[in-house]
Structure 1
Amino acid sequence: MLETAKSYAVLEEELQRLQRIGVALLGDVTDSIIAEYIWIGGSGTDMRSKARTLPGPVKSPEELPRWNYDGSSTGQAPGKDSEVILYPQAIFKDPFRRGDNILVICDCYTPQGQPIPTNKRAAAAKIFSQVEVSNEEPWYGLEQEYTLLQKEVKWPLGWPIGGYPGPQGPYYCGIGVDKAWGRDIVDAHYKACLYAGIQIGGINGEVMPGQWEFQVGPALGITAGDQLWAARYILERITEIAGVVLSLDPKPVEGDWNGAGCHTNFSTKSMRREGGFRVIKDAIEKLEKRHKAHIAAYGEGNERRLTGKHETASMNTFSWGVANRGASIRVGRDTEAEGKGYFEDRRPASNMDPYIVTSMIAETTILFQQNHPRCLSCQH
């Protein structure tokens, strides 16, 4: 524990040192920038990245060249035809190198221009480009829960090795050395996301000790997915510096401990207007009709989390309610009182792909009708 505490104490200093080096080497002596190209690996949850030098500054992803990587080394292509092409889609300021340097969120294609199987952004972009969807200006607020693990034993941070802390209760939004473990990492991530230009809304300690949450949004359409992936990348880079493992496992510890989700808050223009509560109810009815399809797409291992306990609904039963954190869909008291607003889908797991989840919610609530020609997965 002492060594872990020391690693927290030096984290901010180490980040500042690295940032000073980056600015000193580049900012005053060259117009070149470093662009860190980031993509999703073969598991669908791991992230990969590599850097290149480019003329700068760069203001939009359209200015950036495509690049490639060895897909046979990421589980995304065979060795005899290994080249995968990176298409830049979103850029953020680099909180590690700073200056004009950037992080570049990419999606992945074959040399023939076809999305590879792990590229879920391409299908999401088609849904968000539908006129009915774009006219509704869908907003998302993503609540990313995650667990920090001790590097050598893959056991939650602050927990005795091979043992357990006291039962849940004092840890949610708790303070103190006996309740909150990893705050320096969380705070460094918060600041780094703000620097990068991510719409990070806040952070808090979660119910299980060693588990935390950050929120992204409200963000429009596909930008919510871009921002969450960028925030995940920054978080894992910071845990790398701190010598701590980041886990997005939806149930990292079995037993009487909360799992980890990525609750997804959603609204459309019609929901935010007067009379929007009726639109919200209609949307929830559509979500109920496609409950099984959503559950299947909401993250690996989610069945270990959605048990009907620990502030979750059973994955086998759809439910909704006002202020009910044990329901599939929660509607806030403010939304009920004002007759307009948003709802929260509490089913997505912490390891969900935000491109899948955000686009699927938009598709179901806006486009879904039996055999709707523009509902890409409603044809059955």
Structure 2
Amino acid sequence: MTTRTAKSTRTSPTDMDFIQLLFTDVGGRLKTLEVPRSRWNTVRDSGWTMDGSVLLGYGDPDYSDLRLVPDPETFVARPWHTPSGRSVGLVFCDVLDPQGRPFAADPRAQLRRAVERSEARGQLPVFGVEAEFYLLRAHDSLPVGEPSDSGGYWDLVEHEQADEVCRDISDALELMGLTVTGHHHEVCAGQREIVFQHGNALATADRLLLLKHTARTMARRRGMKAVFMPKPLAHLYGNALHVHVSLRGTDEEARPLFHSVDDTQGMSTLFRQSLAGVLEHADALTALGNPTVNSYKRLVPASGTPVHRSWARHNRSTAFKVVGDGAVPASMRLELRSPDPSTNAHLLFTAILAAFADGQDRDLKLGEACEESADRLSIPELAVRGITTLPTDLPTALRCLEEDSTVRSAVGELASRAWVSGSRADWNAWHRLVTSWELERYMESV
């Protein structure tokens, strides 16, 4: 039986049987309200009342009467049907407060504000992401499942079922308007990566959510699970979310602002200031880019994951890498290699743009590149170069976020408090859990 999707000629919400109104909570989890076609025009014009606890993760009487308002420009027809044959449309929404203003903790609204602030500087942000994930099969003795294949980095595998999942995902994304540039096998058995074309900040953050949702759906159709958690398998590498970002001019020329022919590395002064700002706020960015307890099972020194606050032009083991060909100005960009797919991309992108602006406003100076693995440098060598480690546990990262007024202000005080509250609750819940490792290690030995 084929699982391929077919292009639909129905391109309007009123052509669908149901429409899912999509938004994210502060933690980045995709939420939805589904309405029948007959209700679309009313909901489009008037919105839908909702409680703020859905976004914040906790109840607050001051935010109990919000309004969910569809953004019709984001509508796509879902290119697969329900088990009973119904068609479903998807549309992202904004959240308004009782006064009709963008809600202070709506992640999409915060990113839209950040982009507007950047455009007021004559800078148009361009974002791209590379999301890694595992395709796992059910296994009786492994709760999380086992890898769907035994391939390695960029391997051509003979067992094509996992490849077929990636083709299903690519087909579906293309039919929803995303340009898929390629997919390949990642380093570990069962690990994959699908890349779609870069674009503006809001569209890229929205599309990452569509990618994750689509990947899970297509994998389930073939008896697998698409797993984006940072570290699902203890003995294999974790999943990264590599974030690429550059700035272009807002004029008709849209000149690449990160490139300079006069710099030996091809980097403009604006690029150097912006990267210096990211390094300045790297600890708080870690709290947003690596937000879960599980994130810090991946973000471990000497594990193949970049955990040092350093940058490089050619070193792929660094947390912040300058990418691009100096002969192709538009290709010059910054790659953040430490975030993982559990992040809320809307808020992470917001914080990155705030760090850029701070570096520019303060004319921060960029230190020397580190073109060797920081894991191999001694503590004195790291100190001489001014290289420190990023937070490697969640409580430390959250304290850094609370102490960083620039990032906290950009994300918004309400969203910041909700973020920290939710993450601390997860950390406390984790510490109340007695694991099988503890039982095996201590039950009869202490």
Structure 2 length-normalised TM: 0.65
2:156 counterpart residue number = 175
1:203 counterpart residue number = 183
Q: 2:144 matched to 1:157?
A: no
Q: 1:309 offset after TM fit, Å? A: 3.6
For 1:48-197, list aligned pairs within 5 A. Answer: 48=32, 50-54=34-38, 66-68=47-49, 76=57, 78=59, 85-89=67-71, 90-97=74-81, 102-109=89-96, 113=100, 119-130=106-117, 132=119, 135-151=122-138, 153-158=143-148, 170-177=151-158, 182-197=162-177
Measure, in 2, the Cα distance between the counterparts of 1:258 and 1:326: 14
Distance verdict in 2 for CA 1:232–1:133, change over 3 Å: farther
1:312 counterpart residue number = 305
For 1:16-35, list aligned pairs within 5 A. Answer: 16=5, 32-34=15-17, 35=19
2:205 counterpart residue number = 225
Measure, in 1, the Cα distance between the counterparts of 2:408 and 2:60: 32
Q: 1:187 offset after TM fit, Å? A: 0.8
1:266 counterpart residue number = 245
Distance verdict in 2 for CA 1:238–1:114, change over 3 Å: farther
Measure, in 1, the Cα distance between the counterparts of 2:112 and 2:54: 27
Distance verdict in 2 for CA 1:251–1:181, change over 3 Å: farther
Measure, in 2, the Cα distance between the counterparts of 1:139 and 1:339: 10
Unpaired runs of 5+ residues, structure 2, are: 249-256, 363-404, 414-446
1:349 counterpart residue number = 340
| Secondary structure in 2 matching 1:194 | helix
Contact 1:277 1:339 in 2 (8 A): no
AA at the equivalent of 2:114: I
| Secondary structure in 1 matching 2:234 | coil
Structure 1 length-normalised TM: 0.75
Distance verdict in 2 for CA 1:242–1:108, change over 3 Å: farther
Higher percent of residues as helix: 2
AA at the equivalent of 1:307: V
Distance verdict in 2 for CA 1:87–1:200, change over 3 Å: farther
Measure, in 1, the Cα distance between the counterparts of 2:31 and 2:220: 13
1:5 counterpart residue number = none
Unpaired runs of 5+ residues, structure 1, are: 1-9, 160-164
Contact 1:199 1:216 in 2 (8 A): yes
Measure, in 2, the Cα distance between the counterparts of 1:376 and 1:72: 23
Measure, in 2, the Cα distance between the counterparts of 1:375 and 1:350: 24
Distance verdict in 2 for CA 1:210–1:109, change over 3 Å: farther
Larger radius of gyration: 2
Corresponding residue to 2:288 among 297, 308, 323 = 297
Measure, in 2, the Cα distance between the counterparts of 1:117 and 1:31: 31
Distance verdict in 2 for CA 1:132–1:71, change over 3 Å: closer
| Secondary structure in 1 matching 2:198 | strand
| Secondary structure in 2 matching 1:189 | helix
